[in-house]
């Protein structure tokens, strides 16, 4: 049986995921990229997954935390990089050639997690 908290956690981010997915799709279209339903769906589902991944962590700790944002975004970034769906922003592509011991998935985890952690800190979340 799903508790009220779990149900709220699953249904609450639907609208915001659709809105922000639409905004990112519009930005892609304005920049001249080819946009289709798959692109919009990817944005929306990724944002939704980011929010839903935080739910069990908040339930365990009992409060929202900056680390939940870091772990959620880092996990999605690592999976996206390993599947070849997303790139690694802010990192020179030749860095991975110069340092072959660096795993692209781990670098993706670090970059996407750091970005989400920075945004969470700006929102006032604490560790």
pLDDT digits (tens, 9 = 90+) for 27-58: 999 999 999 999 999 999 999 999 999 998 98
Counting beta carbons within 10 angstroms of the beta carbon of residue 79, is it exposed (0 to 12), middle (13 to 18) or buried (19 or more)? middle
pTM of the model: 0.88
**Any idea which residue has 């935390």 for tokens?**
65
Count helices and strands (H / E) in the chain.
Answer: 6, 0
Percent of the chain past pLDDT 90, that is, above it, reads 83
């Amino acid at each position: 049986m799903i508790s009220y908290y779990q149900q709220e956690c699953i249904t609450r981010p639907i609208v915001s995921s659709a809105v922000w997915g639409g905004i990112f799709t519009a930005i892609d279209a304005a920049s001249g990229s080819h946009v289709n339903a798959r692109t919009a769906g990817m944005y929306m589902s990724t944002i939704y997954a980011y929010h839903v991944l935080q739910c069990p962590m908040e339930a365990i700790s009992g409060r929202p935390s900056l680390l939940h944002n870091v772990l959620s975004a880092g996990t999605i970034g690592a999976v996206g990089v390993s599947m070849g769906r997303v790139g690694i922003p802010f990192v020179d592509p030749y860095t991975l050639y110069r340092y072959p011991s660096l795993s692209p998935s781990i670098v993706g985890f670090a970059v996407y997690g750091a970005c989400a952690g920075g945004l969470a800190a700006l929102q006032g979340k604490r560790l």
